[in-house]
Structure 1
Amino acid sequence: MRAEGVRMKVADIERELDHARNQGPVRDIAIPPCPELLVALRKEVDKADPDPSEIARIASSDVAMAASLLRTVNSPLYARARAADTVAQAVSMLGVGPTVGILTSFLTRNAIRSNSPLLEHFWETSTRRALAMGFIARQLYGVDADVAHTCGLFCHVGIPIMMQGVKGYAGTLAEALARQDRSFTETENAAHKTDHAVVGAIVAKTWCLPPIIVAAVRLHHDFTALTDTRFPEEARTLVAMGLVAESLVARHEGVEVQREWEQHGDACLAHIRVSAGEVDAWVDALHPVFESVAVA
């Protein structure tokens, strides 16, 4: 009975997103199609035994993407004893999961542009959030690090899409970043009757990402979900991890303590059974990882 309830709750999210896309306020927002190379990557990754040589072939089919993969694998982030000279070597060194994460990041940021000065460092922050979520997943039991990484990358993709497609959103974004009396999504909904969590989840769904990522992106500002057992435990864990990752990135970037962290940080830490002291240690562990991020 409980499993049926979980399925229904996820199905409710799917129906909400379909309604928003087809009849609601999101219907006029242009959602970029999933890049063809990402479709090919997802098709290979979804196989029972993904072929590293096929991943390498896909990565090599775009010169800029191949260069980005080699630059990343040879960066201080991975601290390899020897450099990778070819894409095939990079895939062999990293493994399929981390390689797909890097390629997904490249393809996503090239498909979704963020040209506003307000979003100058958007992809650097998104990449750090994704890396932080992958790191946190590896510290926990039973959490897929590749799923967590992708979730972290997609949490805020709705923001540049709304910037491009919603009149007046630049002003809303500036207001949402400044206000302390209500949440980011409350400010968005007050102005536009939708928010970046909905839009980002629609992107994830349109791009055929796993349903658990779609659900987590939709819920990543809804912390009532932490105690709602109708949602899958994995989605609720991703929501909790997301706020912890957001806090880690903010601390690195020198951003002041966020309202959501003050209100819900303890609940998120409790949900993933992590102490504040452990998070302090993660700040130090992630410093070189965050410093290595440079999005071209």
Structure 2
Amino acid sequence: MNSQEIRQEVDKSRSSGGLKQIVIPPCPEALIQLQQALAHEQPDLNVIQRIAAADVAMSATLLRTANSPLFKPIGKPCTTVGQAMTRIGLQATLAVMMGFLVSNAIRVNHPQLHRFWQRSTKRAMACAFVAAQLPDLPAGLAPGLAHTFGLFLHVGMAVLMQSVPGYGGTLVEAGARIDRPFIATENANHRTDHAVVGALVMRVWNMPPELMAGIRLHHDFAVLGGTSVEPLVQGLIAAGHVAEHLMRRHEGLPADADWIAHRAAALAWLRIDEARLAEWDEPLRPVLDAA
């Protein structure tokens, strides 16, 4: 399916199908303003600074990031949003702001999703890192888009946890079963899955169609290398698959079933091999530590 077909699928399911009962929190007004600011070819940094400064907690998050060891502060600590933006740069500023806004819009408080947004932030940083290492990909995968993709990749789980009774038990079952894919258990129990619901969030929040399509298909690795899905969407899926593996390796977790079964397709699409992947561990580690 291409992005247009996925949009039609989501709209149809939203109006009359399995997504009808799913409650999507409204998109934060500040995120809407941020998207509008980024729609211009040259984003107005003063507008972005005003959006950040309008929320005390978000300003504090930016300052804490700018003064963290990740950015090796030299001299006096940053004390204003403008100073923080200058130190960490536009892309990191946008990543911090978006993560703050999304995590506050969709609250997660369930033991089966422990540290959900912290891990989402790590996944997003890993996705951006992967994209930054591969600037010559024909799909033109930008680190900023890859970061947003990683941040939202599993947002459907958080929404399902809020909307669907018994979903916590489904997470336990899906994680334990080895006879079928994770999303197959979700669909068997609830007639939908986190990939579809995540695409719905992207649709309702008016996020880029490539994000909606990538999230909808992020467990469908058969699309890699095909012609039915846009190259940029395939790039997001491949980068997200690699990023998930890198994050799990950073956490000392074993490779999951998806990586064992489909790593060759993702690596081939990104034009890298296992040796190149191993080289990324050391430079990526402090980035993920900071998350």
The partner residue of 2:202 within 204, 208, 212 is: 204
CA distance in 2, matches of 1:188, 1:79: 43
CA distance in 1, matches of 2:73, 2:21: 47
Q: Which residue is 2:51 aligned to?
A: 58
Q: Give 1:264-283 correspondences, 5 Å limit.
A: 264-283=262-281
Q: Which amino acid aligns with 1:137?
A: A
| Residue-by-residue CA offset, 1:21-44 (whole Å, 9 max, x unaligned) | 111111111101100000011110
Contact kept? 1:74, 1:80, Cα under 8 Å = yes
The partner residue of 1:23 within 16, 36, 42 is: 16
* TM-score for both structures, normalised by structure 2: 0.95
Contact kept? 2:3, 2:212, Cα under 8 Å = no
* TM-score for both structures, normalised by structure 1: 0.94
CA distance in 1, matches of 2:12, 2:216: 14
CA distance in 1, matches of 2:57, 2:228: 43
Residues 1:67 and 2:67 are matched in the alignment: no
In structure 1, runs of 5+ residues without a counterpart are 1-7
How many pairs does the alignment contain? 286
Residues 1:47 and 2:40 are matched in the alignment: yes
CA distance in 2, matches of 1:178, 1:256: 14
SS of the equivalent of 1:47 reads coil
Contact kept? 2:2, 2:213, Cα under 8 Å = no
Residues 1:128 and 2:122 are matched in the alignment: yes
Q: Give 1:138-177 correspondences, 5 Å limit.
A: 138-140=132-134, 141=136, 142-177=140-175
Q: Which residue is 1:185 aligned to?
A: 183
Contact kept? 1:33, 1:207, Cα under 8 Å = yes
Displacement of 1:178 in angstroms is: 1.4
> Greater shift after overlay, 283-292 or 62-71?
283-292
Displacement of 1:93 in angstroms is: 2.5
> Greater shift after overlay, 34-43 or 222-231?
222-231
Displacement of 1:290 in angstroms is: 1.1
CA distance in 2, matches of 1:201, 1:267: 23
Displacement of 1:84 in angstroms is: 2.3
Displacement of 1:292 in angstroms is: 1.1
SS of the equivalent of 2:69 reads coil
Q: CA RMSD in A?
A: 1.2
| Residue-by-residue CA offset, 1:92-145 (whole Å, 9 max, x unaligned) | 233333211110000001111110011111111111110000000100023200
| Residue-by-residue CA offset, 1:167-203 (whole Å, 9 max, x unaligned) | 1111101111111221111111111111001111111
Contact kept? 1:52, 1:91, Cα under 8 Å = no
Q: Which amino acid aligns with 1:210?
A: P
SS of the equivalent of 2:258 reads helix
Contact kept? 1:225, 1:236, Cα under 8 Å = yes
Contact kept? 2:33, 2:51, Cα under 8 Å = yes
Runs of 4+ with deviation above 4 angstroms: none
